[in-house]
Chains A and B, each alone.
Chain A
Amino acid sequence: MKIDLSQFRQLFLQESAEHIALMETGLLRLRTAPGDVELLNGIFRSAHSIKGGAGSFGLKHLAHFTHSLENLLDRMRSLEVQATDEVIGTLLRSVDVLRNLLDADPSVSEDEPMPADAVDLDARITALLPGESALTETTLELALLPQEPRQSQAATVEEARQITLYKVEFRPDREIFSSGTNPITLLRNLAALGTVSCCHLHTDDLPALADLDTSQCYLGWTVELASHSSAEELREVFEFVEHLAEIRISSSDRTHSDRPQQLLFALPRDEVAETQIAAQPATSPAATLSAPETQPAEAQRVFVERRKAPDEDRRKSTVSDRRQSSARPAAGGESTSIRVAIDKVDRLIDLVGELVIAHVMTAQMVEDFEPSCLPKLRESVAAMERNTRELHERVMGIRMLPVGTLFQRYSRTVYEIAQTTGKQIRLEMSGEETEIDKSMLELLGDPLTHLIRNAADHGIEAPEVRLAAGKPVEGIIELRAFHRAGRIVIEVCEDGAGINVERVRQKAIESGLIAPETQMSDEQLQMLIFEPGFSTKEEISDLSGRGVGMDVVKRNVQQMNGTVSLTSEKGRGATVTIELPLTLAILEGLLVRVADRTLVLPLLAVIETVPLRDEQIVRVAQQGEVVVIRGVSIPLLRLARFLGVTQQTVDAREENSNRRLAVIVEAGRRKIGLVVDELLGQQQVVVKSLERNLHRIDGLMGATILGDGRVAPIVDVTGIGALDLFSLQAPVNELQLSALRDQTARAAASSQRNRGGITNELV
């Protein structure tokens, strides 16, 4: 039987990536708590697990390297090596090497020499070890699954063509049962290696019946057997009990060319049979000994098969590796799979079950419909709705991951910057358990890296500057995640110098972003750093900069229907706040009618709805139309005009002026009143991306398909909030208008095609 374990490779790689992340976090924490044994144990276990698995898949570089690492960590556990900055620095670099080794293309790397950085670091690790290593190369060989047939085995089999007569004396200790060893099993295994000609039972230690302790073994055996096996192979039978028994194996030098003798069972004549049975109540050993006829030819065939097998296996695994690696996405082998707790899946299955039942019931009622069962039918439809909703939530829940998995990596970023710049920086995190859609987590990686780098590199001042300003030498960067009003908020906050508004202003003028005479508030000026091509640092530093600016942060966040904002106080630091929707795929929507169109507003953004009469609308210079609600003036945006939806009939226009409503929404940091004609209701909508088929339209975040099959655009409230409203109140852009018509028409067509309940392609 050939058992192929290569299917577990992907799982191992995924698991190892997690271990590497754990090691990294652990090491960074170890810097502040060098004596934390549990922490060290955890790091050790991670390295250990990687090593254990690496060998199983023939990843010899990885196995070798983790072995060295484990060695060092073990010395740290035994306090022979102290967790100095140098040691931790080396270990952190090792983590990078591990990552590279793990990412290496499996089909090519293993026959190549180990990458230079790994060799280099390996030497460094060895240099940190005091004295000679306890785990030597020979033990390492043990840790690698042999990919070649063992030569010694070949030799053994060659020799073993001849039958040798052995005499095996086996005298177990009285305590042998306590190790879970059954001597009979051993004797049976021994017997399987050849033909037993004689089995002698030693009963000399047997006590009187009254003194017998059934948990003790009083017996010993001498077995004579004719076998093709070597003495070593015979000894292997007793591999696990060498410390629990006396084992003597002797062979008579004459080889036994005769046919194997009949099984002989020699009862010791001077012993009483009953006593033996009492001492060994299981089965009498000899009675169960069997002597299979092992033919030399057969033994050889087995060997040949075994020699072939590993080669074949290797070829096979190489092929499958190639397949695997070509199937991997281009982005550095990042896995696109999600690991889901089994109970989450079980709950989904339950829900689907309930849904099926609810459906059957409903179908039945529709089949034998009578007006009297209408309430029941309603009930059953409501049950289906509940199920569907919960199913939605749970399926989305599968995509949710704690942000901590992303946050972890920034400890390292900050550590590296602190090392290079000579600053003292502490990264504090909170809300790591906050869950966020997996696809958003991926999109968030780069912007956060940029923000953290910025905070550490530009924000936090050099120690002497901080001291001079009367601040603690150590700068603090806080990375926080939390929920606020149904959105996820992520903040990067530093207690550095803050943003120099005057510098920003100068820079913006230099780069032509604003005209010299432009009047702007500090807040507006600060937001300029998110504009493309803006950088305030005099020289572009090695760490941040590199041509990409905060505009990338803004773009990525907007791509997720999120917003970025910034507050800063000169000399006190700055906080960048990213707000994101909980998930990209489903939102609770408020359906509104604008002219003859149905639009969806994200319900979470809606604060209130007020009736709007024409006389309430006030025109303000430089601001356009506003409505005053409870003393606060709120700018208005006529959605019909903004989206280029024109009135189709005169009737509609008349009706309009009387029943118009203003939906007050929270758009980023301000409130806006969206002018609509009617509220239609509230429902969960599945967000479909427009960009996939059409181009992006400012003010729309996507579209959804309504219950009746129509397509409804979803208004991007935060996006609108970020726009200059006054200019938007001017006549609508022709291009936008035609684009919207175009896209709704096409989306409607595609929805027709997709009818039949297909709600795939979640964004």
Chain B
Amino acid sequence: MRKVLIVDDAVSMRQMVSFTLKQGGYEVVEAEHGQDALNKLAGTTVDLILTDLNMPVMDGITLIQNVRRMPSMKSKPILMLTTEGLAAKKEQGKAAGATGWIVKPFDPEKLLQTLAKVLP
């Protein structure tokens, strides 16, 4: 089963994404913020990361930069899950190495489609 790491500080959002992904047949790992995500990644490998950008402790952009430095995660897809409609944020994310983005609020079916789109 494909494993996805969900990173978001809002519990409700995390649970909604988690629920959607489980419905879509994915295994899910959850993290509260960037640092938590890095800690989780130290113990497990995942096939894809879905991360919020605005988070306490470590934001999404910093997380992406860090993940891209990990040999095991260098070429794994990372999607930004964000309400940011601002192009600047997207650009920052892309520059940091994000594969793509999903705009919150997300449509569950669309989320699954997008995931399928970037997973090899």
Closest CB in chain A relative to B114 CB, distance in Å:
9
Contacts of A143 in B (CB 8 A): 83, 85, 103-105
B23 nearest CB neighbor, chain A only: A3
Closest CB in chain A relative to B11 CB, distance in Å:
6
Docked pose: A185 CA to B47 CA in angstroms? 14
| A3, A134, A146, A184: the one within 8 Å of B108 (CB) | A3
| B11, B105, B118: the one within 8 Å of A11 (CB) | B11
Given A3-B20, A52-B83, A143-B104, A44:B54 Cβ within 8 A: yes
B108–A180 touching, CB < 8 Å: no
Docked pose: A178 CA to B71 CA in angstroms? 11
Q: Which of A235-243, A469-477, A488-496 contacts B (4 or more CB under 8 A)?
A: A235-243
Is A182 engaged at the interface, CB distance under 8 Å to the other chain? yes
Contacts of B97 in A (CB 8 A): 178-180
Docked pose: A7 CA to B99 CA in angstroms? 30
B118–A181 touching, CB < 8 Å: yes
A15–B10 touching, CB < 8 Å: yes
B107–A15 touching, CB < 8 Å: no
A140–B119 touching, CB < 8 Å: no
Contacts of B78 in A (CB 8 A): 180
Closest CB in chain A relative to B75 CB, distance in Å:
5
Contacts of A179 in B (CB 8 A): 94, 97-99
- The residues in B between 16 and 30 inclusive whose CB is less than 8 angstroms from any CB of A are 16, 19-20, 23-24
Docked pose: A42 CA to B105 CA in angstroms? 21
Task: Give A129-143 as 1s and 0s: 1 = Cβ < 8 Å from B's Cβ atoms.
Answer: 000001100011011
B109–A1 touching, CB < 8 Å: yes
Is B120 engaged at the interface, CB distance under 8 Å to the other chain? yes
B120–A185 touching, CB < 8 Å: yes
Closest CB in chain A relative to B24 CB, distance in Å:
8
| B83, B106, B109: the one within 8 Å of A51 (CB) | B83
A339 nearest CB neighbor, chain B only: B11
Task: Give B61-76 as 1s and 0s: 1 = Cβ < 8 Å from A's Cβ atoms.
Answer: 0000000100000111
| A1, A42, A134, A178: the one within 8 Å of B86 (CB) | A134
Docked pose: A178 CA to B98 CA in angstroms? 9
Docked pose: A239 CA to B94 CA in angstroms? 12
Docked pose: A53 CA to B9 CA in angstroms? 12
Docked pose: A180 CA to B11 CA in angstroms? 27
Among B20, B74, B98, B120, which residue has the most Cβ atoms of chain A within 10 A? B120
B10–A8 touching, CB < 8 Å: no
Docked pose: A134 CA to B87 CA in angstroms? 11
Contacts of A144 in B (CB 8 A): 105
B56–A45 touching, CB < 8 Å: yes
Among B24, B86, B104, B109, which residue has the most Cβ atoms of chain A within 10 A? B104
Is A145 engaged at the interface, CB distance under 8 Å to the other chain? yes
Is B13 engaged at the interface, CB distance under 8 Å to the other chain? yes
Contacts of B103 in A (CB 8 A): 142-143
Is B77 engaged at the interface, CB distance under 8 Å to the other chain? yes
B101 nearest CB neighbor, chain A only: A240
B75–A178 touching, CB < 8 Å: yes
| B13, B94, B107, B112: the one within 8 Å of A243 (CB) | B94
A11 nearest CB neighbor, chain B only: B12
Given A3-B109, A240-B101, A53:B54 Cβ within 8 A: no
B83–A48 touching, CB < 8 Å: yes
Is A49 engaged at the interface, CB distance under 8 Å to the other chain? yes
A189–B76 touching, CB < 8 Å: no
- The residues in A between 220 and 253 inclusive whose CB is less than 8 angstroms from any CB of B are 237, 239-240, 243-244
Contacts of B75 in A (CB 8 A): 177-178, 180, 182
Docked pose: A178 CA to B13 CA in angstroms? 28
B76–A11 touching, CB < 8 Å: no
Given A5-B19, A185-B120, A139:B104 Cβ within 8 A: no
Is A642 engaged at the interface, CB distance under 8 Å to the other chain? no
B16–A49 touching, CB < 8 Å: no
A7 nearest CB neighbor, chain B only: B19
Closest CB in chain B relative to A317 CB, distance in Å:
13
B86–A52 touching, CB < 8 Å: no
Docked pose: A178 CA to B94 CA in angstroms? 10
A239 nearest CB neighbor, chain B only: B100
B86–A139 touching, CB < 8 Å: yes
Contacts of A146 in B (CB 8 A): 107
- The residues in A between 111 and 141 inclusive whose CB is less than 8 angstroms from any CB of B are 134-135, 139-140
Docked pose: A143 CA to B78 CA in angstroms? 21
Docked pose: A51 CA to B103 CA in angstroms? 12
Closest CB in chain B relative to A494 CB, distance in Å:
35
Is B55 engaged at the interface, CB distance under 8 Å to the other chain? yes
Is A303 engaged at the interface, CB distance under 8 Å to the other chain? no
Is A12 engaged at the interface, CB distance under 8 Å to the other chain? yes
A53–B120 touching, CB < 8 Å: no
Contacts of B109 in A (CB 8 A): 1-3
A181–B85 touching, CB < 8 Å: no
Docked pose: A12 CA to B107 CA in angstroms? 16
Is B15 engaged at the interface, CB distance under 8 Å to the other chain? yes
Contacts of A2 in B (CB 8 A): 109
A13 nearest CB neighbor, chain B only: B12
Docked pose: A48 CA to B16 CA in angstroms? 17
Is A447 engaged at the interface, CB distance under 8 Å to the other chain? no
B76–A53 touching, CB < 8 Å: no
Is B2 engaged at the interface, CB distance under 8 Å to the other chain? no
Given A3-B20, A3-B109, A180-B75, A142:B85 Cβ within 8 A: yes
A48 nearest CB neighbor, chain B only: B54
Docked pose: A51 CA to B106 CA in angstroms? 12
B48 nearest CB neighbor, chain A only: A180
A189–B117 touching, CB < 8 Å: yes
Contacts of A184 in B (CB 8 A): 120
Closest CB in chain A relative to B87 CB, distance in Å:
9
Docked pose: A11 CA to B12 CA in angstroms? 6
B107–A55 touching, CB < 8 Å: no
Contacts of B56 in A (CB 8 A): 41-42, 45
Docked pose: A54 CA to B101 CA in angstroms? 19
Docked pose: A482 CA to B51 CA in angstroms? 41
B18 nearest CB neighbor, chain A only: A8
| B10, B85, B112: the one within 8 Å of A140 (CB) | B85
Closest CB in chain A relative to B23 CB, distance in Å:
5
Docked pose: A178 CA to B75 CA in angstroms? 6
B76–A180 touching, CB < 8 Å: yes
Task: Give A1-41 as 1s and 0s: 1 = Cβ < 8 Å from B's Cβ atoms.
Answer: 11101011001100100000000000000000000000001
Contacts of A52 in B (CB 8 A): 10, 13, 83, 104-105
Docked pose: A7 CA to B55 CA in angstroms? 24
Docked pose: A145 CA to B118 CA in angstroms? 22
A135–B85 touching, CB < 8 Å: yes
Is A56 engaged at the interface, CB distance under 8 Å to the other chain? yes
| B10, B85, B107, B120: the one within 8 Å of A49 (CB) | B10
Docked pose: A139 CA to B104 CA in angstroms? 12
Closest CB in chain B relative to A4 CB, distance in Å:
8
- The residues in A between 425 and 462 inclusive whose CB is less than 8 angstroms from any CB of B are none
Closest CB in chain A relative to B109 CB, distance in Å:
7
Given A3-B19, A139-B86, A180:B9 Cβ within 8 A: no
Docked pose: A1 CA to B25 CA in angstroms? 12
Given A49-B10, A142-B103, A178:B120 Cβ within 8 A: no
Closest CB in chain B relative to A44 CB, distance in Å:
7
Contacts of A135 in B (CB 8 A): 85-86
- The residues in A between 162 and 183 inclusive whose CB is less than 8 angstroms from any CB of B are 177-182
- The residues in A between 182 and 200 inclusive whose CB is less than 8 angstroms from any CB of B are 182, 184-185, 189
- The residues in A between 566 and 590 inclusive whose CB is less than 8 angstroms from any CB of B are none
Contacts of A56 in B (CB 8 A): 13, 16, 104-106
Contacts of B101 in A (CB 8 A): 240
Cβ contacts A to B, 8 pairs, < 8 Å: A1-B23, A5-B19, A5-B20, A12-B12, A45-B55, A182-B120, A240-B101, A243-B94
The 6 A-B pairs with the shortest beta carbon distances in the complex, nearest first, are: A139-B85, A240-B100, A55-B105, A3-B108, A56-B105, A180-B99
- Additional pairs, 4, CB under 8 Å, beyond known A3-B19, A7-B19, A55-B104: A45-B54, A48-B54, A52-B13, A180-B78
